[in-house]
Chain A
Amino acid sequence: MTDPITTFFDDLAERGHEPLLEKAVGSIRFDVVNGKQVERWFVTVDHGDVTVSRRNIGGSCTIRVDRPLLEEIVTGRKNAMAAVLRGAFSFDGDIELLMMFQRVFPGPPRPRARRRAAAPARSRR
C-alpha cells in the first residue's frame, strides 16, 4: 500500500514545474504529526519551479497538521481551507504562500464520467 502523502510530494517533485504556483516564491515546512513522531517535508517554490526535500532548509511558512488529516487533504477528501478555519491545519508565516500552495491539493475524487465539466478539453463548436 503506497502512502498518499509520499505519493503527493513525489508527484509534486516529479512535475518540477507547477503552473498553479507560478506566482509563488518561498519555502514551506510541513510538520506532519503522527502520534509522537513529527515527519518533515520541505517544499521550495520559485515561480512555479518546485523542489521537495526531507532535509531541513528552513521555511517562510510552517504548516502543522496531523497525518490522518493530511492524508485526506492530499487525496481530496478534505478541504485545506476548511481545516484552517477549524484550527486543524495550523500555519505560521507567509499566509499568501499558503493560499497559493493550497491550489495544488486535488479536488474530491469524482465518479468517472459524471459531468461534462470533468472533460478538460473538448473540441469547441
Chain B
Amino acid sequence: MSDELVSILDGNTFVVSDRRGDIEASLTDPTGLFSFDTRFVSRWILTVNGQRLTALSTDDIEYFETRFFLVPGTGTVYVDSQLSVIRQRAVGNGFHEELTILNHEDKAVALTVRLEVASDFADLFEVKDALKKQGTYSTRAGKDGLYLGYQRDTFVRSTGIAASERAKYDPHGLTFEIKVPGHGEWSTDVDVVAAQGGPGQTLERPKYARAERQARPNMQSGLQRWLDQAPRIVCDWESLSSTYRRSLVDLAALRFSPMTAGRHALPAAGLPWFMTMFGRDSILTSLQALPFTPSLAETTLRELGRRQGSRLDDFRDEDPGKILHEMRFGELTAFEERPHSPYYGTADATPLFVVLLDEYERWTGDTKLVRDLELEARAALNWIDEYADLMGNGYIAYQRRNEKTGLENQCWKDSWDSISYRDGRLPGFPRATCELQGYAYDAKTRAARLARRVWKDDAYADALEKQAADLKRRFNRDYWVPDDEYFALAIDPDGNQVDALASNIGHLLWSGIVDKSKAKAVVRHLMGPRLWSGWGVRTLAEGEGRFNPVGYHVGTVWPFDNSFIAWGLRRYGFKEEAARIAAGILDAAEFFEGRLPEAFGGYKRSVTRYPVQYPTACSPQAWSTGTPLLLLRTMLGLEPIGDHLIVDPALPVGIGHLELLDIPGRWGRVDAFGRGRVEVHKDSGLRSQLGVLGNPKKRAR
C-alpha cells in the first residue's frame, strides 16, 4: 500500500484514507470503508467553511485506531491557523469518528462544518476493474441520520451515518452549523455502520455506539493479553527483539474470525486486501507461529476442515476432500460471477492441512482435535490419491477447470511465468511442481503417526507409510537432474522434467522427501551464488532464462520461503546454513523496521547493500510476519520430542545471547537459551556480524 494512505482495521473491516482522514475513492486510490469485501463508504470529506483541511500529523495509535491533526486550508501557507481540527477514528463494524475543533482565538467563531458522504458499494474485486454495478442505490436523509443503500435482488448492503451533535442531513452528507467560543472547543461523535442484510434481517448496532466507548479499551487489552501470552524474548541484538515484537503485533492485526469460529481467530493472508481465510497462507503462517501462538493453528484447522470440498465443481475447482484456497463475501461472489464461495484452486493446501494437524499435535498434545478432524484428514489424504493425480503418474498435479476466473498456477508461486524450463519456455498443463510431492510425502508420513497414535488404525498407518516410501523412491528417481544434481522444478504433461533451478528444492528438505545422499548437493545449490543473494535464497536461480531480480516469483527473495528452507536445512542437519539464512533475513528485517515485506529484490547483497523492496499491495503479509518466528525456532533448534522440547541452538555471531522464555506446549512452559557462534558473513565482505555496521535506515524510535 502507498505510504500516503492510512489504514486501520478490525478483522475484515478496514478504513483506508489519505493522511487528512478523507476518503475520495478513485481507480488509482482504493480508499474507503470496507467490510466483508464490500466498500461501504467511498466518499468521506471534511470541510470547514467550505475549505479542505491540511494534515499536520497523523498518529497511528494502534492498528485499529488513528488520530489526524489538521488545520483548515490547503497548501503550504495556512489560510486560517486559528483553528485546529482533530479526527480520532477507530474501526468496529464500521467506524467511529470523534471530531474536535479547537478555537485558538479570543473571540467566538461561527463555522460550517461539513462531511460529504457517498458509497458505491463496490465489491473488492470491482475496485480496480471499475465494473458497472447492476443493482440500484437508495439514499434517505432523515432527522437523525443518513442512510445509503444498495440492492441487487436479495443482496442488500447499507451504510448508516449518525452524529451525536445536531446536524442537518442531506443525500450527500451532513452539515453542522456551530459556534465555538473563544479558546474553546466543539466536538461530536460520528458513527458509521456497515450493515449487510437480506430481507428480514435487522441492522447491527455499531460496536462504537456513543454509550459504549469502552469498546476501544477492550480491544487494547485484547492486544495486551495477546502479547502477554506469547513467549518473551531477551536478546543482545536489539533489532531482533523489536522485530519479534513487531511480528506479534502484526499477527494480532492479521487475526480474522470467520462467522463459525466464535471468538477464535486464524491468520488472514495480508492487510488490508487479503483479510480473509486462505488455505495456503493461513496454514503456513500457523505453522510458523506454532511455538508462539498455537491457538491460530487450531482455528485454522477447524475452519478449513469445516469448509472442505465435498463435490466436483469445475467453476470453483472443487473436489471432494480438497482444502479451500480463498473465501470471499462480496457481490460478485454472491452472484457466482467469481468462484470464491469458497474457491478451491490450490494444490498444496490439502496436504499441508494434514502436515499442520500433525505438527500441531506434536507441539500441543491436543489429541482431541486430531480425533475431531480424523474424517477431514482422511478425506484430504484420499484427495491426494484420487483427485490430484491428474497425469496418472502418482504425482500431485494441477490444471484449472475454471478457465475464466480460476488460477493458472495453483502452487505458492502463482504468477503466470513462475514455472519454467531453464531456457525460459513455459510448460503445458497439468503441472506437477516438485514441492507438492514433498508436501504429499510429509502428509502421509505424519498421518501414519497420527493413525497409529490417535486414530488407532495400524493398517491405515502401514498403508500410508508404504505409499510414502514408494513416493519418495519414485520422486528421487523422476525429479533428480543428474548432471547438475538438483531436483527439477516440475514434471510436465509429457512426463519430462521442467528443469529450472528454483528455491522449491529448499521446501523439499523441509518435507523430508530428499534422499540423504542427495541433500548435500541440494544445499550446495541453495547456498551457491546462483540462488543465494547474500540476504536469502532467490525464488529462481541467476542464469535461468526467466531470471529477473525484481520478477515476482522469478528472482526475488521471499522471506517466508526462506524460513521454510531454513527449517528444511535444520531437518537435514545443516545448522550453519540455516543460521546463515536466519542472519540474512533478520538482517533485512532491520532495514524494514522489523516488518518484512512479502518479497525483496534478488540483487546481490554486495551490490545494493540494502534489501530493495518489491512493491506489493499488502503490508503486513501474514507469512512474512510469521517468518521471524519460524527463524527463531530454527536458530534455537526447537523440536518437540515426546513430551519434551529439545533445544539445539545454532545462532549467528552478532546475535549474542538469546533467550526465549515461556514457550508454550505439551510440556507446559519452558525456556530456551543460545549464544551466537556461527560465522555467517565471512564471504559477503559487508558487516562481519549482525548489528555491527551502521544502518542507513536506522529506526527513528
Contact code string B226-270 (vs A, CB < 8 Å = 1, else 0): 000000000000000000000000000000000110000000000
Assess whether A87 is in contact with B386, with CB atoms less than 8 Å apart: no
Assess whether A96 is in contact with B386, with CB atoms less than 8 Å apart: no
| CB contact between A23 and one of B155, B307, B375, B389 (< 8 Å): that residue | B375
- Residues in chain B near residue A86, CB distance under 8 A: 152-155, 198, 331, 334-335
Number of A-B contacts (CB under 8 A): 91
- Residues in chain B near residue A82, CB distance under 8 A: 333-336, 341
A113 at the interface (CB under 8 A from B): no
Contact code string A92-123 (vs B, CB < 8 Å = 1, else 0): 00011001100111111010000111101110
- Residues in chain A near residue B386, CB distance under 8 A: 120-122
A79 at the interface (CB under 8 A from B): yes
Give the distance to chain A from B368, nearest Cβ to Cβ, in Å: 14
Assess whether B329 is in contact with A85, with CB atoms less than 8 Å apart: yes
Closest to A88 in B: B154
A90-B199 CB under 8 A given contacts A82-B341, A122-B392, A125-B393: yes
Contact code string B134-162 (vs A, CB < 8 Å = 1, else 0): 00000000000000000011111000000
Give the distance to chain B from A75, nearest Cβ to Cβ, in Å: 12
A81 at the interface (CB under 8 A from B): yes
Assess whether B313 is in contact with A107, with CB atoms less than 8 Å apart: yes
Cα separation A111 to B333 with both chains bound (whole Å): 24
Q: How many A residues, CB 8 Å from partner?
A: 35
Contact code string B153-178 (vs A, CB < 8 Å = 1, else 0): 11110000000000000000000000
Closest to B312 in A: A107
Cα separation A117 to B391 with both chains bound (whole Å): 10
Contact code string B343-375 (vs A, CB < 8 Å = 1, else 0): 000000000000000000000000000000001
Give the distance to chain B from A67, nearest Cβ to Cβ, in Å: 15
- The residue in A79, A90, A122 that gathers the most chain B C-beta atoms within 10 A of its C-beta is A79
- Residues in chain A near residue B125, CB distance under 8 A: none
Assess whether A117 is in contact with B390, with CB atoms less than 8 Å apart: yes
B residues 291-319 touching A (CB-CB < 8 Å): 306-307, 310-316, 318-319
B385 at the interface (CB under 8 A from A): yes
Cα separation A83 to B198 with both chains bound (whole Å): 11
Give the distance to chain A from B382, nearest Cβ to Cβ, in Å: 10
Q: How many B residues, CB 8 Å from partner?
A: 42
Assess whether B336 is in contact with A95, with CB atoms less than 8 Å apart: no
A78 at the interface (CB under 8 A from B): yes
Give the distance to chain B from A20, nearest Cβ to Cβ, in Å: 6
B394 at the interface (CB under 8 A from A): yes
- Residues in chain A near residue B199, CB distance under 8 A: 87, 90
Assess whether A87 is in contact with B156, with CB atoms less than 8 Å apart: yes
- Residues in chain A near residue B154, CB distance under 8 A: 86-88
- Residues in chain A near residue B331, CB distance under 8 A: 86
B401 at the interface (CB under 8 A from A): yes
Closest to B335 in A: A86
B30 at the interface (CB under 8 A from A): no
Assess whether A85 is in contact with B307, with CB atoms less than 8 Å apart: no
- Residues in chain A near residue B152, CB distance under 8 A: 86
Assess whether A95 is in contact with B259, with CB atoms less than 8 Å apart: yes
Assess whether A20 is in contact with B310, with CB atoms less than 8 Å apart: yes
Assess whether B156 is in contact with A110, with CB atoms less than 8 Å apart: no
- Residues in chain B near residue A103, CB distance under 8 A: 310-311
Give the distance to chain A from B167, nearest Cβ to Cβ, in Å: 31
Cα separation A105 to B393 with both chains bound (whole Å): 31
Contact code string B393-417 (vs A, CB < 8 Å = 1, else 0): 1100000010000000000000000
- Residues in chain B near residue A96, CB distance under 8 A: 260, 306
- Residues in chain B near residue A83, CB distance under 8 A: 334
Cα separation A99 to B260 with both chains bound (whole Å): 9
Closest to B376 in A: A23
B202 at the interface (CB under 8 A from A): no
- Residues in chain B near residue A124, CB distance under 8 A: 385, 389, 394
Closest to A19 in B: B375
- The residue in B155, B310, B331, B342 that gathers the most chain A C-beta atoms within 10 A of its C-beta is B310
A107-B311 CB under 8 A given contacts A85-B329, A87-B198: yes
B201 at the interface (CB under 8 A from A): yes
Cα separation A82 to B336 with both chains bound (whole Å): 7
Assess whether A79 is in contact with B336, with CB atoms less than 8 Å apart: yes
Q: Could you list 15 A-B pairs, sorted by A, with CB under 8 Å?
A: A76-B311, A78-B336, A79-B313, A82-B341, A83-B334, A85-B341, A87-B154, A87-B197, A88-B155, A99-B260, A107-B312, A107-B318, A108-B315, A110-B312, A117-B312
Closest 4 CB pairs of A and B: A87-B198, A107-B311, A86-B334, A85-B334
